[in-house]
Structure 1
């Protein structure tokens, strides 16, 4: 559906709920789904509006949210809904996720972050046990339980979208037998509580120091261990093993008063579910990264494989899965997903110059390095936010423009193609000791699309390679814009 129609529908729903016309309708950063979010604000009211074309997801989310909220669990309050139009309004929880804390932590895991994680696992235990009590599991989809069929679906996803695309040979019958062996073991534990299914840091908001959970519409009845495994072994979170152990036992301490458990029986199944979750996310990374070629997911693969290696090295898999283990060990040994040597890259002589420019005003920038040429990427076919009045005085660095481009244009896929082309050149230039590469992004006015694209590539190159990047926004710097 067109963004203008969605905004109109949400504005009408907001006015019906608040009794006021919203003065702000701001698209928010996209999620990894078809859901589109907006922040709506009037003089006295504030809400987040959601549009999601999938009716079952909406019904599950709204039903679960009202159930959890009535029990005092940390989830957003639902303000209004119109399921016929696929929209609803919920409490605005701000913009800070637990993932944003991880991005700030650097190379060590600080004490304040451990304290936040402890509060998260305390609330997780409450959500699973208290929230699961009396929940209408008939709202779950595609199944009410995380049962053997669900696990085998995850294994097939892993098999065909990860192992196949990574060119790792396997005996399909033996691999299938291993999948059945592992799933049978996992189902020996208690599977009668609410399982969030995708319990990871992007789905945990932090407001006033407290965690609040979102995006649990894919939840179902299942084992307690799965969500804890999802959180503590989230690939890029890279939590040190001693802290994982500490958080595991803190969770069990919080769980015991509301759901007595046998710790000795719980822990082997916990590590089994850690492995199951690793298999599941590798399937997702394979589809998003190897098949759809999205760089973000490719970057997560090495972390997931290191988690699996740790499980193997420390004998944490409590059942024999010989073919599955052989295929994964071959994959790990191949090192095909290990990132480019950043130490080698950052110590190279290469400087990458990145420019945004206007075709209408300045034209393609001259390469002053003396090498001539470089890449020139045309952004003019990307949906232009500058055509709309609210964005005309903004640039590609403003949140509203960024969210517009991410939601309502193909710039994400465009940049993935740019990254693949430029990465090949950067790695070749590092290996050959070249000193300069220039990359230019042009759009009509050099204000929105090209600025955003240039910023994204600069960040990507710095994070992946650590080489020197010189960034210029030519049209904006003419206006005394501080870069």
Structure 2
């Protein structure tokens, strides 16, 4: 990471003589792209480093062509000759999802969604003639084969691990029927592919789009389904319905013709179903196979969304075996398998979490009757304290957090911790135990152990709603987190 950062700084200096006043690594999004924010006296830039040249080329080509139709995309200032680095316009830190979480379901946020959909319709339709689909990363078109692939992804990584009995041949027949039905849409234009509120940034109350490098030709309905049914956004049904109507108004105006709205909505519902199943497939792969706790926690909400969809929407095509299977996986007994036990006010358990220094204090003493608990050694992870820029900060400061999350195996380490600790916490809640101690140690008790203790605190609070007594011993910090 330090080498990449230095290369980015050198690249910027070759472009501009302005002095860099602030340089920070931004949180990772999808793929292996690394983002940096560079601030000078008069301007802010986003620098991107990505060794996937094909992905960079798609992003740059799409940007240059779509900006010609006034799509709200970032300006590209300069591209390194090897195409591994480029500088682009900075839209700030506030996404549409951030605005929704900050402001709630008010008129201001609703209008931002309307602006997003209006600009989306313009980008999709007007941009279609501008795009050279030969630059697509994978397929040129999201058609029958791609839809079938998404359905099989759901089958292999979520449905099959549940071990629910089904007729394999009939289910595949239904998959093929749905794929063919959705492939035969009348309106195929440029498809953003990942049009979600976290990829829409708000600057001066105007919307701007990022992360469209996975775009291809496809149905208009796919992107609007992605936005309105994003699980994290959790938009109410009246918003989904009225925003869909507004989007169809925008499409009709741009095309200068009326839409067959009944058919459009039926196929839109089909793409909503595809998106819901994509999410379950991803959660299954990341949670059930890779054992990443965050994704397992998200499965009950995804199944609840799917259940509501099945009870309230029609796709316009009969899929008997598929519908039977979907009804089975949203039953309470299936959902309950993924829903963790929750502590309540009467639960006696208090989980004590400590960060400590092996050199200065050694293992913390357990003052309860249990005689100790888990001790996790963080010293196998790269030490931020070896770098000068991190010596005066801790594992609670953003530069250290970014370093640990992006340049070390801390995420893998913590996933293993979660898998072990979750077993004990669930058991302790069910058995009425009152105390569990969990310790994280590193050399100085300043960076790795502090970050890990905070991360476990968030995880246990989110998953089990359990009381936490948090101590950062070397930092002299004590926080109690109860109900």
Q: Do the structures match in fold with TM over 0.5?
A: yes
Q: TM-score, normalised by structure 2?
A: 0.93
Residue segments in structure 1 that go unaligned for 5+ positions in a row: none
User: Any idea what the Cα deviations from partners look like across 1:145-170, whole Å, max 9, x if unmatched?
Assistant: 10111111112211212222333333
Aligned to 2:452: 453
Question: 1:145 touches 1:220 (CA, 8 Å); kept in 2?
Answer: yes
Shift in Å at residue 482 of structure 1?
13
SS of residue in 1 equivalent to 2:351: strand
Larger displacement relative to structure 2 (193-202 or 294-303):
294-303
Q: Which residue of 2 aligns with 1:68?
A: 66
What's the secondary structure of 1:211's corresponding residue?
Answer: strand
Q: Is the 8 A contact 1:235 1:300 kept in 2?
A: no
Where 2:127 maps in the other structure, the secondary structure is coil
- State whether residues 269 and 313 of structure 2, in contact with CA within 8 Å, keep that contact through their aligned partners in structure 1: no
User: Does the aligned pair in 2 maintain the 1:355–1:439 contact within 8 Å?
Assistant: yes
Quick one: structure 1 residues 80 and 170, their matched pair in 2 at CA, closer, same or farther if it must change by over 3 Å?
Answer: farther
Mapping of residues 387-426 of structure 1, within 5 Å:
387-426=386-425
305 and 180 in structure 1: CA distance in 2 versus 1, 3 angstrom threshold: same
* Equivalent pair of 2:66/2:130 in contact (CA under 8 Å): no
Is 1:289 the equivalent of 2:287?
yes
Matched, 1:255 2:251: yes
Contact 1:191/1:221, CA 8 A, preserved across alignment: no
For structure 2, the 5+ residue unaligned runs are: none
Kindly state the Cα deviation for residue 131 of structure 1 after the two structures are TM-superposed. Answer: 2.5
Taking the TM superposition and a 5 Å limit, the aligned residue runs for 1:31-430 are 31-82=29-80, 84=82, 86-104=84-102, 109-259=105-255, 260=257, 261-333=259-331, 334-342=334-342, 344-345=343-344, 347-430=346-429
CA contact 1:346–1:468 (8 Å) conserved in 2: no
Superposed CA deviations along residues 397-434 of structure 1, whole A, max 9, x for unmatched, are 11111111111001111111111211111111111111
* 1:27 paired to 2:25: yes
Q: Which moved more, 1:323-332 or 1:181-190?
A: 323-332
Two-structure CA RMSD over aligned residues (Å)? 2.2
Matches of 2:234 and 2:170, distance apart in 1: 31
For 1:337 and 1:120, how far apart are their aligned partners in 2?
37
Displacement after TM superposition at 1:119 (Å): 2.2
- Secondary structure at 1:286 match in 2: helix
Describe the superposition over 1:144-201 as per-residue Cα deviations: whole angstroms up to 9, x where unpaired: 1101111111122112122223333333222211111101111222242111111112
Shift of 1:369: 2.5
Q: Could you give the per-residue CA deviations for residues 372-393 of structure 1, whole angstroms, max 9, x where no partner exists? A: 2011111111111111111111
| Alignment partners' CA distance in 2, 1:292 and 1:286 | 9
Conservation of the 8 A alpha-carbon contact between 1:163 and 1:169: no
Distance in 2 separating the partners of 1:83 and 1:372: 61
TM-score normalized by structure 1?
0.93
SS in 2 for 1:26: strand
CA distance in 1, matches of 2:248, 2:474: 57
Contact between 2:78 and 2:86, CA under 8 Å: does it hold in 1?
yes
Match of 1:437 in 2: 436
CA contact (8 A) 1:233 1:274 kept: yes
Q: What is the total number of aligned residue pairs between the two structures?
A: 477
Residue 92 of structure 1, CA deviation: 1.7
Q: CA separation in 1, counterparts of 2:224 and 2:52?
A: 28
Inter-CA distance 402–254: structure 2 relative to 1 (3 Å threshold): same
